[in-house]
Amino acid sequence: MAQSFSQKFLPKRQVSVRSYSIRIGRSSLAACLLVFMATVTAYAQSCPLYPSPHQRIGFNVAREGNVDIRNYDAPRLGAGWYHDYTVSKTPSHPGGILYHQMIRASGRDTPAKIKQLITQLTPVVDASPGDLWILGNEPDRYGQDGLTATQYASFYHDLYYFIKQRDPTSRIAIAGIVQPTPIRLRYLDMVLAEYQRLYSEPMPVEIWDIHNFILPENCYWGASVPPGLEAYQSEAVPCPANNSLDDHGNIEIFKQQIRTFRQWMKNHGYQDRPLIVSEYGKMHSK
């Protein structure tokens, strides 16, 4: 189940913080229209900046309290898509909004567990031709999907080819990392390298997805060090001075992280792929 921002990242004793990161209504789609571009070749041939104001914006719907998108007046907001951190054979489409499937990777750290998951997903994939599938959520963070680079590369490979073989019209997005900081870009470097090592081919990422928080990593609260990267703890963002939340609202850091990740995509040959920024938030002290 998805957690609210304060549940995910803030220390329990930090009670003076208000969170403004409600998951519904805080996602944006950058670079390409996903709905009408079915192949990687199409991305390379034509990539208008913002071809649709509706498909540029989506929602993340947290399901705490057994709520779903029908509990919100979502059509008034005019977005083109949403996801709710799970998969559905018969999702709701209020106002004609599209549904993006998300397959959680938490605990899927062995071939047997992945095979069991695939068996469960088969009827959902068969009932959802052409859907966009996000493979995981924050695999770089304990407490969310929490997999090492090797484990996530294996998870992604098996789910990618399972979905593509049953539905060639599907579109596949990689899981969003917490934030594009040096240690988390190292994590993605390791995912790509492990995928190449295990399967002797580049990782076939059609759509990139990141979250763009501004949080400490080498600290008692925040994003934490990614699984398996404890040896690189010195690269992690330290606790802010006096535990200030000032940087969390720094729009220049926010923009630079997006630019940094776009450059990282280009450096790895993915510059023609769409990028979804699927979580971000703003909070401040009372």
Is the CB of residue 80 less than 8 Å from the CB of residue 98?
yes
The H-or-E segment that residue 194 falls in is helix 182-199
How sure is the predictor about 35, in pLDDT bands with cuts at 50, 70 and 90? very low
Q: For 88-98, how does the pLDDT look when each residue is reduced to its tens digit (9 = 90+)?
A: 999 999 999 99
pLDDT averaged over the chain? 85
Q: What is the pTM of this model?
A: 0.84
pLDDT score of 246: 80
Is position 2 within any domain? no
Is position 113 within any domain? yes
* Separation CA 170–CA 160 (nearest Å): 10
- 93 half-sphere exposure, CB direction, 13 A CA radius: 9
When divided into structural domains, the chain yields a total of 1
Is position 200 within any domain? yes
**What range defines the domain where residue 36 resides?**
18-285
Is position 5 within any domain? no
pLDDT score of 51: 58
Is position 10 within any domain? no
Average pLDDT over residues 255-270: 97
pLDDT score of 27: 41
Is position 212 within any domain? yes
Closest C-alpha to 85, from 71, 97, 69, 101: 101
pLDDT score of 2: 55
* Separation CA 75–CA 79 (nearest Å): 7
Residue 148 CA: distances (Å) to CA of 45, 102, 139, 227 = 35, 19, 8, 5
For 29, list phi and psi in degrees, rounded to 5: -110, 125
Is position 7 within any domain? no
* Separation CA 166–CA 46 (nearest Å): 27
Is the CB of residue 265 less than 8 Å from the CB of residue 210?
no
Average pLDDT over residues 42-66: 70
Is position 120 within any domain? yes
How sure is the predictor about 7, in pLDDT bands with cuts at 50, 70 and 90? low
pLDDT score of 33: 32
Q: Does the pLDDT value for residue 183 go beyond 80?
A: yes
